[in-house]
Amino acid sequence: MSANAREVVLGVGAGIAAYKACDLLRRLQDRGYVITVVPTPSSLNFVGAATWAALSGRPVTSQVWENTHEVAHISIAERTDFFLIAPATADLIARIAAGRADDLLTNLVLASDVPIMIVPAMHPQMWNDAATVANVEMLRARGYIVMEPDVGRLTGSDSGQGRFPEVSAIIERFDAVTGNVRDLIGRKILISGGGTREDIDPVRFIGNRSSGKQSIAIAKAALQRGAEVHLVAANMDTSTLQDLNVTHVESAAQMREALAGTFESCDVLIMCAAVADAKPVRTVVEKIKKSLFTSIELEANPDLLAELGKRKISQVMIGFAAETSNLIESARAKLVAKGLDIIYVNDVSNGAIFGKDTTSGMILKRTGADIALKEVSKDALANLLLDDALRQLG
């Protein structure tokens, strides 16, 4: 079981409909599922491993004899929350029903104890054959979800029941299996991300190493769960985001203004941004010559989160803490001082976290049990924080 309960193995059987599974994979990713593709060896005749690796962003293995040191049939099984086998051929269904384990996919099916949904696609004669009918019946009796194939035209001139169902119908059924609900519909989520820059002169600034990746992960997860999202983005790339309101800012003062305008109407504030704690007392219009660039006089920036904490009405407030020592004590002190409900503290010593796709740290809450996370994806952390925000919203 994974930390975000969204790890899916997409098993691909050797049917011509394998090409339709490419679109299925994309649509699943749009809905926040994290996919590992496990094709059967013969399905690679239809869609090759390179396509699956490129689309999923993960290595693709189809035999237990590849990368044996990783013991894939156990390691993948351990982290998987759901199986979706699409398309499933008559042969693949027969092998699963018989408990065979002659490729990686069937090994994984045997080695896991999570919901498995099968989407058959084959010639109508094969679908209606007594052997397939008995195998499907047996699998359903064991708790497998086996979708009915569509009725219609097949690859050749034949028609009948055996067509790969529409991708939207597969997703709808799969969402029902996984309980992937749009539980944030009607909720307004305000997120800050990236790192502010405080100008010294026209070419120099005081900045920090924040990449904004965590705020992107939260924005995507919140959108996927149906929320209305507003991102205040400081010096970060937001080109992978759609369907949300983005305000681009540079400095802490600009971020303060952007947040102030939206805070009152939001249900949840997630303050991911690394705000510069200080700025130059004076920003010089002309570039400072190097001979004169020897010291910068600084003054403190306001603490944006603490300020908003004082204006809080019923908003759930989530902060982040970047620490290099005394992680838990320092973060708990910030949780109280800034009037937060939740704080995520991560250890940023030795360049850990910044720019990476994974994070290790601790979710500390005003009420409720803390959660320790080790090397989980930023997507997983995003969903855990949103789960908690929703719980606090009631």
Question: Is residue 151 packed enough to be buried (19+ CB in 10 Å), middle (13-18) or exposed (0-12)?
Answer: exposed
Per CB under 6 A, 389 contacts ligand CTP: no
Q: Choose between 219 and 304: whose C-beta lies nearer to ligand CTP.
A: 304
Shortest approach of ligand CTP to residue 179 CB, angstroms?
A: 30
Q: Which stretch binds ligand CTP (CB under 6 A): 71-79, 153-161, 287-295, 315-323?
A: 315-323
Shortest Å distance, C-beta 258 to ligand CTP: 12
Instruction: Please give the Cα distance from 290 to 316 (Å, whole number).
Output: 47
Q: For ligand CTP, which residue of 8, 268, 304, 342 counts as binding (CB under 6 A)?
A: 304
Which is nearest to 146 in space by CA: 111, 177, 176, 120? Answer: 120
In single-letter form, the type of residue at position 230 comes to H
By CB under 6 A, residue 250 contacts ligand CTP: no
Contact between 259 and ligand CTP (CB under 6 A)? no
- Select the residue interacting with ligand CTP from 60, 184, 305, 317 (CB under 6 A): 305
The residue type at 265: S
Can you read off the two tokens belonging to residue 181?
């609900």
Q: Which of 129, 303, 370, 387 binds ligand CTP (CB under 6 A)?
A: 303
Closest CA to 250 of 199, 190, 308: 199
SS3 per-residue string spanning 6-34: CEEEEEECCCCCHHHHHHHHHHHHHCCCE
Total residues at the site for ligand CTP (CB under 6 A)?
13
The residues, any chain, with a CB within 8 Å of residue 279's CB and separated by 6 or more, are 198, 206, 251, 252, 253, 298, 299, 301
Is 208 assigned a catalytic role?
yes
> Among 199, 201, 250, 277, which residue sits at the site for ligand CTP (rule: CB under 6 A)?
277
Instruction: Rule CB under 6 A: choose which of 139, 275, 382, 385 binds ligand CTP.
Output: 275
Specify the DSSP class assigned to residue 274.
Answer: B
With CB under 6 A as the contact rule, the residue among 322, 342, 363, 376 that binds ligand CTP is 322
Segment contacting ligand CTP (CB under 6 A): 15-23, 159-167, 209-217, 313-321? 313-321
Q: Of 92 and 343, which CB lies nearer to ligand CTP in the complex structure?
A: 343
| Helix H or strand E encompassing 228 | strand 228-234
Residue pair 366/358 in contact by the 8 Å Cβ criterion:
no
Q: What is the closest distance, in whole angstroms, from the C-beta atom of residue 302 to ligand CTP in the complex?
A: 6
Which of 40, 106, 301, 392 binds ligand CTP (CB under 6 A)? It is: 301
CA-based nearest residue to 28, from 44, 7, 42: 7
Task: Please pick, among 4, 107, 180, 208, the residue that the annotation labels catalytic.
Answer: 208
Catalytically annotated residues = 208
- Residues engaged in binding ligand CTP (CB under 6 A): 271, 273, 275, 277, 301, 303-305, 319-322, 334
